Structure formats: structure tokens, C-alpha cells
Amino acid sequence: MAAGAGEVQNNRLALIYTSPTFLIMGLVIVFPFVYNVVVSFSNMNLQHFRDWRIVGIDNYIAVFTDRVFWYYFMKTILWTVINVFFHVAIGIWLALILDKDLRGRSFFRTILILPWAVPQYITALTWRGMFNSEYGAVSLLLQKLFGWNFSWLNDEWGAFTACLIANIWLGFPFMMVVALGGLQSIPRELYEAAEIDGSSWFDKLRTITLPLLKPVMVPAVTLGVIWTFNNFNVVWLVSNGGEPSDTSHILVSWVYKAAFRYFRMGYAAAFSMVIFAILIIFGWNFVRRTRATEAVY
Amino acid sequence: MKNPRELSLPGKVGAYAVLMAFTAFAIFPILSLISISLRPGDRLLTKSLDIIPPDATLSTYSDLFFKEPFLLWLGNSLMVSGAVTVVGVGLAATAGYAFSRYKFTGKNFAMLGLLATQMFPLTMLLLPLFIVLIKLQLYDTYWALIIAYSATALPFTTWQMKGYYDTIPYSLEEAASIDGCPPFKTFWTIVLPLAAPALVITALFSFMTAWSEYLVAAALIQDQSRFTLPLGLKMFQSSMEVKWGLYSAGALVVSLPVVILFVVLSRWLVSGLTLGSVKG
């Protein structure tokens, strides 16, 4: 029998086809990663940009003893949990509605996908404008409706909320589209059988829809958590680099500021290694746990 | 039997109410941009909430194109995005082909490695990349952006191309090789034309990645004559007096093509994405 696709052993041709890709990935991802490990053990900063040397684990000690690390860490957790919760809840809610026979579904589907389609930096800059305390559309609307005056971007939690709203806006369509795809693959017969058994709407949601959506939503939520955790654009651009006075950062925006505004390279490199470790631990746990639950089913 | 997708009357009213509310949320920022971009210059800082101002004018748009360096940024962005598209399609088409057709040492490791790069926070790679590019004398050049963006798009597009090649029957290539057609020619004349739809998706995805990127450009480009659109638009907001009108008009012009593309492509993007992550 002739060998099928993917069964022909050919190291030479495979190398020719893949080497340009690996060259570029090596240059942009692998080498910088290794270099980052080295820098994280060095004293590189603005004074020692060229004549840096290895100083051991000083930077890591600085990261963990620095109060800002724990502060931004808690904020990042809060940021990720609130965002992903709203993305998934709104996404599934809208998907459940759009899955019904409604006039104009494809119109609504198209409009509701728009926030995902707008480039992220434009979303962030636009929401920053809308939260402007004097002329921003959000502030004007709140003022006209409730007579409520609030200077969002000058307040730590106001700026955090502004970032949250902008990010929830841009994130729910992804979950909606994924959930819609999942809903369409659920066999109709299951609902008909439940109907005969006299199940209520809520029973069907709990026993059929949500469990069968889970396999599609789990990878989407994993990606969503990683994207949100690493979401530099929204936090940086809405809060204009962590304003007021570096209080509204999450971990990744603080690393950027430490490296590119304060030029504390060694410290920033160590800090980003810690962020990376957090993500690896999360990813590994997540895979292990979802495998465990799959085995139970 | 009742159709499970049919809603009762109160159900329908509720459904439309929810849809309308979220539609309003979704288009609120877009309407706000349109409204600001149409205001005449002396009424930018108005407190009105009208969507189309009574004295609407397109003068902001003509200022944007002819008085500001917008066309320069547009040209820079087109050049960088075009180069990324060419590099991205070329590399993803060949690497994806090898992953689909050949067995080779380290294949599984390489494929998982590509996925794993998606986990790396960009901010972590940016600082060492910045230092490496300074050493290579590529800092503050278009090449820096082209290389960085290609690497950002490649993991997804390579997986996507591999998935598409997997659906093309291998017997065609076998027949060609029995007829004495060399492997490169088989790939070029038989497989690539069949993979055209996937190549189009790869091209558009690579283009959009480069077109909409801010962070890497902010770290790697300094000279204002090399600014891409994201850096230019940010400049309207960050200078001492914020130019809301110019920013809004620019944001709409920049977003419109990608938004249209994206809405058309969204179905394929999602299926490729979930496929890749489920398989991985």
C-alpha cells in the first residue's frame, strides 16, 4: 500500500519548507526569550545599558519584595476574572437568543460582531475619548440622564472601570460567535425528547445546552483568559500609561512602563519571567483539570 | 411537535429588547466617532449628544488627508502590511505543507512549539527584541516591524494552512510523482492552486495583524517619518491639545476596510481558531 499524506519520511524537503518559518520564529521569539532570561539576572538599566553584568537573583528579589508586584497581581486577577465572566455570560446569552427563529437575526449578528472587528487600539483610544470628563459621550450621557458628574480617568477605580467597560465591549462578540457555533452542533432531538418529558426551559438549559456547550467553550475561555491577562492595549491606551500616577496598571502594562519608560531592563526582564511563570502554571493546571473532568464524563 | 427554536410572544419581546440593548452598546462608540468627525472645527468641544450635528461638514476629512501627514502614515502602513502579507503567505504556505505531508524528526515538537508561542506575553519578548534589533541595526526601520509582525501571524496561519492541506487528497500528488513530476513542481502547480481559499484567508489575516498593531510599533519605531497609522492616530490624542475631530475621522477611515473584511471572514476565522486549539 502506498503511504498517505503525513506518512512520507523526508527530512530534507521538510527542512527546506519549514526553515524560513523557524528562522523568523527563532529570531523574534526563541532568541529573545533566552536573552530575556539572561537579562533578568543582570543589572542592565539606563546607566548600565552597554556595560551590564550578571548580578544573580537581585532582580527577582526586587520583584517579590516590591509592594507594586502584589498590588498589580491582584488587580490583574480581578481584571481577568471580571472581563472573562462578562465576555462569556454576555456571549452565551446573546448566542442563545440568536439561535432562535427571529426576524433579522443575521442583521443583529453582524452588528454585534462589530466590536471585535474594530482594531483594538482604536477601541481603546475611542473609549478614552468617551470617558473624558467634560466632552466624552459617556460622561455627557450620564450627566444628562442622571445629572451625575464623575471624572473617570482621574480616579484609580474610575480608570479601572473605564478599562473594564472598553474591554468587555471588545471581547463579548468572540464568545458569542464561538457559542453560536457550539449551539448549532447540538442535536435538536435532545430538546424534543426533553419536551416530551415536560422539562422546563431552565432544565433544558442546565441539562442539555450548557453541558454540550462546554467542549467548545473550554478552549475559548482558556484563550480568553490568556488574552485578557496579557491585554496591554486596552489598559495602556485607556489609562494613558497607567494614569493616575501608575495606579491603574495590570502586570503587563507595568512591565512595559518599567522597561521602556523607566529603563529598568533587568528588573523588567525578571518581572516578565514571573508573569510567564504565572501563565504557565495557569495553563498547565487548566489542561490537567479539564482532562480530569473529561475522564469523568 | 413544537419547534424548539420558536419563541413565545413574551419571549420574542424579551429577546428583541436584549438584542436592541446590546446593539446600542455595540454601536455607541462608533456613532460617537461619526458624530465628532462631522463637526465643524470650531464646535468640536460641544456638549451636545446629536449623532449628526445640524451643521455637519466633511472639512475634518479633507484636513486629515491634505493638512496632516495622514497619507504618509497610510503609505507606511500599506507598505509594512503588504510586506507582512507576502512573507506570511510564503512562509505559512510552505511550512504548513511540510507539516501536512511529511513525517520528519521533531515534527510534533515543532507544531506544539508554534502553538506554545501564543502563550508568551508580547511585553516579555519586546524588551529583548528591542535590544537584538538595535544590535542588528534594524531598530527604527520597516524591517523591524515586518519581521515582528510576520512572527506574530505565523503560528495561526501555519496551522490554518496545514489544516487545509489535510483536506486535499494525497492521491493527486502521488499520481503526479508517478508521472515523474518533481516534488517542488507538484507543490507549485497542483497543490497551491487547490489551496487558494486558504491562501486568501492567510493573506487577509496577515494583513490585518500588521494593519492594526500598536504596541510593537510604539517600541520599535521612533522617527516620525516612519510612523504607521496606529502611531499617527495616537499622536492626535497625546499631544498637548487633543485633536478629537482628526482622531475620529482617522479612526473611521482606518477601521472601515478591516471591519468589512472581518465581518465577511469571521466564520472562517473562528472555525480555524477553535479547530487549532481543540486539536492542540
**pLDDT of chain B, 280 residues: tens digit per residue:** 456 677 788 888 888 999 999 999 998 888 888 888 888 765 656 666 667 777 777 778 888 888 888 889 999 999 999 999 999 999 999 999 998 888 888 888 888 888 778 777 777 788 888 888 888 888 889 999 999 999 988 988 898 888 888 888 888 888 888 888 888 888 888 888 888 888 988 898 899 889 989 888 988 898 888 899 999 888 888 756 778 888 888 899 999 988 888 888 776 655 554 444 433 3
Q: List, for residues A241-271, the tens digit of each pLDDT value.
A: 777 887 778 888 888 888 888 888 888 888 8
Rounded Cα distance between A91 and A175, Å, is 5
Q: Are B36 and B248 in contact (CB under 8 A)?
A: yes
| Residue contact A181–B271, C-beta within 8 A | yes
Q: Are A138 and B52 in contact (CB under 8 A)?
A: no
Backbone φ and ψ for A177, nearest 5 degrees, come out as -65, -40
What is the per-residue pLDDT for B150?
A: 92
- Find cell 496579557 and name the residue: A230
| Residue contact A36–B110, C-beta within 8 A | no
**Which residues of B fall within a CB distance of 8 Å from A27?**
132, 147, 151
What is the per-residue pLDDT for A217?
A: 84
Percent of chain A scored above 90 by pLDDT?
13
Which residue is closest to B144 within chain A, CA to CA? A28
| Residue contact B101–A8, C-beta within 8 A | yes
Interface residue of B3, B8, B102, B241 to substitute, partner A, most A CBs within 10 Å: B102
Rounded Cα distance between B128 and A34, Å, is 9
What is the per-residue pLDDT for A85?
A: 95
Backbone φ and ψ for A135, nearest 5 degrees, come out as -115, 0
Specify the pTM.
0.83
A110 has a pLDDT exceeding 50 = yes
Q: Are B71 and B253 in contact (CB under 8 A)?
A: no
**Which residues of B fall within a CB distance of 8 Å from A9?**
102-104
What is the per-residue pLDDT for B173?
A: 85
End-to-end CA distance of chain A: 38
Q: List, for residues A70-96, the tens digit of each pLDDT value.
A: 889 999 999 999 999 999 999 999 998
Annotate chain B with DSSP letters as a single string. Answer: ---TT---HHHHHHHHHHHHHHHHHHHHHHHHHHHHHHS-GGGTT-----SS-TT--SHHHHHHHHTSTHHHHHHHHHHHHHHHHHHHHHHHHHHHHHHHHEE-TTHHHHHHHHHHGGGS-HHHHHHHHHHHHHHTT-TTSHHHHHHHHHHHHHHHHHHHHHHHHHTS-THHHHHHHHTT--HHHHIIIIIHHHTHHHHHHHHHHHHHHHHT--HHHHHH---GGG--HHHHHHHHHHSSS--HHHHHHHHHHHHHHHHHHHHHHHHHHHHHHHHHHHH-
Residue B15 contacts A where some CB pair is shorter than 8 Å: yes
Identity at A27, one-letter amino acid code: L
What is the per-residue pLDDT for A101?
A: 83
Which residues, numbered 104 to 123 in chain B, qualify as contacts with chain A under a Cβ-Cβ cut-off of 8 Å? 104-105, 107, 110, 114, 117-123
What is the per-residue pLDDT for A135?
A: 75
Interface residue of A8, A28, A221 to substitute, partner B, most B CBs within 10 Å: A28
| Residue contact A232–B6, C-beta within 8 A | no
Rounded to 5°, the CA angle A234-B134-B122 comes to 25
Q: Are B166 and B96 in contact (CB under 8 A)?
A: no
Q: Are B223 and B35 in contact (CB under 8 A)?
A: no
| Residue contact A39–B122, C-beta within 8 A | no
What is the per-residue pLDDT for A205?
A: 85
What is the per-residue pLDDT for A290?
A: 67
Percent of chain A scored above 70 by pLDDT?
94
Q: List, for residues A142-199, the tens digit of each pLDDT value.
A: 877 887 777 777 788 888 888 999 999 999 998 998 888 888 888 888 888 888 888 8
- Find cell 499631544 and name the residue: B239
Q: Are A271 and A264 in contact (CB under 8 A)?
A: no
Q: Taking the mean position of all CA atoms in its chain, how far away is CA A267? A: 24
What is the per-residue pLDDT for B275?
A: 47
Measured from the Cβ of residue A246, the count of other Cβ atoms closer than 10 Å reads: 18
Q: List, for residues A25-52, the tens digit of each pLDDT value.
A: 888 888 888 888 888 887 777 666 677 7
ipTM of the complex as predicted: 0.82
